[in-house]
Amino acid sequence: MHTSLAQDSSRLPDLLKKTLDASLDYLDSINNRPPATAFARNDPLDLPDDGLGTEQTLDLFVQRYGQTMPASNGPRFWGFVTGGTTPAALVGDWLTSVYDLNLTSVAHSTAPNIELEAICLLRELFGLPASFAGTFVTGATMANFAGLALGREWIARQFGKSIAQDGLHAVPPISVLSGEAHSSIFKVLALLGLGRNSLRAVATLPGHREAVDVEALRQALERLNDRPCIVVANAGTVNTGDFDDLQALASLKSRYQFWLHVDAAFGGFAACSPNYRRLLDGIDAADSLTIDAHKWLNVPYDSAMIFTRHRDLQVAVFQNSAAYLGAIAEPPDFLHLSPENSRRLRALPAWFSLMAYGRAGYREIVERNCALARVLGDRIQASATFRLLAPVRLNVVCFTLAGETDSDRVRDFLARVRDDGRVFLTPTTFQGEAGIRAAFSNWRTRVEDIEIAWRAMNDNR
């Protein structure tokens, strides 16, 4: 064995203790660290011939990167839709690496029970019926990929074909209809060979809305003349947290042939609170459903779930048969259900966090985050410096600078705010206007953080 490897292996408790100290140093500073920093490229290191050993490598890492690592899992990173890591999730994630299990099948451990159990817990959290099977994937983009891959195969079946077996040329071009689809849907369409242009944008409701106009959708379906298609419903749009009327979409299913995929990457967590749950009424009609875990579940990257009522299609699309892997059993192993073959025990951080904080814990996080979004929204509404672009519906505040605004002015403001180091916000365009988003999905964020951020926003306006 290589000397450094042998030495490290005999000193593992010391090394883990040192790592714990470095972790606690970071976590103790999380409230005061800048949530984001400007990128500056390093000169890359040379690969050492002999290796430094872990202790020196940790020292090197801390010296080279430790000070500049941002607190993007801290309370004031409000860019994109970014969760943090609950203490329980951190413990689960640590153990995931300790066990380093390849969770492909039931052939060599009982660990698949952890994923199956986590999925049951999540179904309860989201109020989904047992008919929804769930599988962990790396993020909402991959969950959208899996959901639309199933939709594509379902369409092929309507023609008595299989795209999984015979390829896309087996069926006529496939249309995908959506109101305000997330950008990841376009990426997924590119990956699936349907093409970004297969998405037909359907009108959204008038006013400051991003929810699909159901009558416009009905007309678009009518124009397809009974040709089956995919409808992507949006439950929580990234700009304003708006929701399609899922119940109305569900009722269209009795008249038109379509696969209903619901992208509820963060909006799915509306189910955690009786104040917001009704936004998801009708979700049971989804054929496939995306929910992210690394957003509002507050588990570390990368983690999300694809749920579906059509497990047979999942096997048709994702099966990976080989003599050395064994036959497809019932229930099928995970490698027959997800895009990945080898996959980590990604469910463990979720399992820990769900068991540690339960229904009430997640209700409190969701309600506090939404309340804080409203506090910020109210301040913006009353201010002469900023202007709300849409009402605050859930956990996202979409606003802009008062006065003449363009994307350059917004970009410069956001760079000043980032460099100030108290809060991090990201840009957008909403209904043609250059805007700013603040998304609340971190368990650490409190009302004091709104005070700190508000001062930073006003000092840098």
Residue 283 in contact with ligand PLP, rule: CB under 6 A:
no
Residue 210 near ligand PLP by CB under 6 A: no
Q: According to the binding rule CB under 6 A, does residue 400 interact with ligand PLP?
A: no
328 neighbors 135 (Cβ within 8 angstroms):
no
Per rule CB under 6 A, is residue 164 in the interface with ligand PLP? no
Quote the CA–CA distance of 337 and 307 in Å, as a whole number. 11
Taking the complex as a whole, the smallest distance from the CB of residue 266 to ligand PLP amounts, in Å, to 6
Q: Segment contacting ligand PLP (CB under 6 A): 106-114, 139-147, 220-228, 418-426? A: 139-147
Answer yes or no whether residue 238 interacts with ligand PLP by CB under 6 A.
yes
Cβ nearer to ligand PLP, comparing 112 with 282 = 282
| DSSP alpha helix (H) spans, 291-406 | 311-318, 347-382
Residue placing its CB nearer to ligand PLP in the complex, 184 or 204? 184
Cβ(230)–Cβ(152) under 8 Å?
yes
Which of 40-48, 84-92, 137-145, 162-170 is the region at the interface with ligand PLP (rule: CB under 6 A)?
A: 137-145
Residue 127 CB, nearest approach to ligand PLP (Å): 19
Instruction: Report whether 4 contacts 50 (CB < 8 A).
Output: yes
Instruction: Specify the amino acid at residue 47.
Output: L
Which CB sits closer to ligand PLP, 34 or 139?
139
Q: Taking CB under 6 A as the rule, does residue 279 contact ligand PLP?
A: no
Residues 54-93 that bind ligand PLP (CB under 6 A): 80-81
Stretch that binds ligand PLP, among 161-169, 247-255, 258-266, 278-286 (CB under 6 A): 258-266
**For ligand PLP, the closer CB: 269 or 443:** 269
Residue nearer to ligand PLP on the CB measure, 189 or 401: 189
- Strand ranges, E, within 168-245: 176-178, 199-201, 229-234
Q: Which residues, in sequence order, are CB contacts of 220 under 8 Å at separation 6+? A: 177, 200, 202
What own/partner pairs with CB < 8 Å and gap ≥ 24 does 379-386 have? 379/450, 379/454, 385/457, 385/458, 385/461, 386/457, 386/461
According to DSSP H, which parts of 258-346 are helical?
Answer: 311-318
Nearer to ligand PLP by Cβ, of 112 and 139: the residue is 139
398 contacts ligand PLP (rule: CB under 6 A): no
Write out the H or E segment, with its range, that includes residue 406. Answer: none
* Residue range at the interface with ligand PLP (CB under 6 A); choices 116-124, 136-144, 349-357, 402-410: 136-144
**Residue in 72, 135, 184, 426 binding ligand PLP, rule: CB under 6 A:** 184
Rule CB under 6 A: is residue 344 a binding residue for ligand PLP? no
Of the two residues 54 and 73, which places its CB atom closer to ligand PLP in the complex? 73
Q: Is 266 in the site for ligand PLP (CB under 6 A)?
A: yes
Q: Which amino acid is at 451?
A: E
* 139 near ligand PLP, rule: CB under 6 A: yes
Task: Provide the 3-class DSSP secondary structure of residue 445.
Answer: coil
Question: 326 in the Ramachandran plot: left (φ > 0), alpha (ψ -120 to 50) or beta?
Answer: left
CA nearest neighbour of 35 among 450, 303, 425: 425
Select from 298, 415, 409 the least CA-distant residue to 350: 298
Angle at which helix 347-382 crosses helix 112-126, to 10 degrees, equals: 30
Q: Which of 140, 283, 299, 354 binds ligand PLP (CB under 6 A)?
A: 140
Q: Does 265 bind ligand PLP (CB under 6 A)?
A: yes
User: Which residue's CB is nearer to ligand PLP, number 297 or number 335?
Assistant: 297
Q: What is the DSSP letter of 93?
A: H
By C-beta, is 304 or 380 nearer to ligand PLP? 304
Sheet bearing 396-401, strands edge to edge: 386-388, 396-401, 433-439, 426-430
Smallest gap from Cβ 236 to ligand PLP, in A, equals 6
Instruction: Locate 65 and state its tokens.
Output: 């990167």
Asked if 292 is part of the footprint of ligand PLP (rule: CB under 6 A), the reply reads yes
Q: Which residues bind ligand PLP (CB under 6 A)?
A: 80-81, 139-141, 182, 184, 236, 238, 263, 265-266, 292, 304
